[in-house]
Amino acid sequence: MKENILIEKSIDFGARIVKLHRYLVKTQHESVLSKQILRSGTSIGANINEAQYGNSKADFIVKLHIALKETAETEYWLHVLHKSDYLDEKMADSLLCDCIEIKRILIASINTAKES
């Protein structure tokens, strides 16, 4: 079976978000923002995976759009966590880089699906 790079990247990113949540709760004693980013950051991959089993091309595109919206929300929370000093520059940049890469792949995938 051919590897799906978007699914793999979203799973890896989701695992990083789970670890980030654990870090924020244990080390920073932060629970409100960490729950927000846990929800949005893991939802990206869940929606990408769900899109693979859509009933139609339209359903596939809708699920990818939901994943894209979750990516935008996750990007927002990463900026908030960085600006509020819960994340240092290096950690924030690394997570943002991965998030933006997934966002770009999602946009390309949506555009390709719409064209075909």
CATH number of the CATH domain containing 14: 1.20.1440.60
CA dist 89 to 59, 69, 78, 94, Å?
38, 24, 11, 8
Per the structure, the complete domain to which residue 47 belongs is given by 5-115
Tokens of 21: 């949540």
Q: What is the pTM of this model?
A: 0.94
Judged against a pLDDT cut of 80, whether residue 72 lies above it is answered with yes
The tens digit of pLDDT for each residue in 16-65 reads 999 999 999 999 999 999 999 999 999 999 999 999 998 999 999 999 99
Domain count, the chain: 1
Cα angle 100, 101, 104 (rounded to 5 degrees) comes to 85
